[in-house]
A and B are shown apart, each in its own frame.
Chain A
Amino acid sequence: MINWGYTINKDSSIDYDKNDRSLFCSLVKKEPTLGICMACGECAATCSASQFTTFSFRKTILLVQRGELNGLEKEISKCMFCGKCTLVCPRGVNTRHILSLLRDHLIK
């Protein structure tokens, strides 16, 4: 057994061709406003959780859209459902509903 002293680094880039985006597709059917997010970040700016944790709603739904689901279960568990994000969204995205749907899918 060879003791290499290292392992081959994992590719950390987003491979859009290989990622599974079925979650996004099913979510956008249930909550169509998911598709009109313009990533302005106002939700994350006002979010109570994002002040003290790594959670960002903007980033979460962007990663869902790309199929990068690793670690999202942990992130969305930090949301307290206060609704401030829905209050501020300039495009009218129903952020609270989307997070609720994500919970159903990701947190078993």
Chain B
Amino acid sequence: MDTPVITTTALTKRYGSHPALTDATLDLPAGRIVGLVGPNGAGKSTLLALAAGLIRPTSGTIEVLGNRPAADAAQLARVGFVAQDTPVYTQLTVADHLTLGEKLNPRWDRRTAADRIRQIGLDPAKKAGRLSGGQKAQLALTLAAAKRPDLLIFDEPVAALDPLARRAFLQSLMEFVADLDVAVVLSSHLIADVERVCDHLVILAESRVQVAGDIDDLTADHYRVVGPRGTLDTLPAGVEPIAADHTPRQSTLIVHNTTGRPLDLPGAETIGLEDMVLTYLHRAEGLGTPILQETRS
């Protein structure tokens, strides 16, 4: 698993004149759980639909596991996709869905599927239309996982679930990842979920990629710097300001240290993941520094 799971170059998708994803260049590494965060409409679903091959880019390129998405049956077999709101066929039973998975996927793992359904207590004879949201999500997860893909993509898998179902779903997801040796890309607008599950992060806002990297690196490289007004006007090379807030006496900066060396600035301290994400989202919307004290983790 050395090839990156998803590689994009200047990937752009427009619907008419409305940009859904603009100029995204990404390298999502193998062997990680990648989280895609951003507000609704940031382009998360578009990026994932492009990766699943459900839509094609307006311009730019995307490769998933080294191939064009949905290029052929073999490529489709390598990617499992759980769509937003976890659609299932309401008129088909749970057992029908498992048969569907078995008939349409050469690598289908019947045992895993049956075990999972038993474990989560789904009645195989029940129509999928009568399942609860959490059960539907679990069924969709089972379908995608028993397909035995190399990459599992989840688009806002827990957005519509209540807190209990959300916790159960994420628990199942992590169990699968541990059992199946599979790369995962999931999107969420809930930073807490991403922080719990993921180890690599892509922040999307206003159809653009704001920043991407391993969560540990990102949190280690983002600092809040406070200093007297005027002392922070010039920053060392490789240190990029993300947000700035000035009072008459002092300046507060959120900076991204891309030098690869420890940041050598007085009054600099690292910020938490949630603060960092919020800073990027505020910048994307053209707002100033968010009030970080209240959200610090």
**Chain B binds chain A:** no
Report B's interface with A, CB cutoff 8 A. none
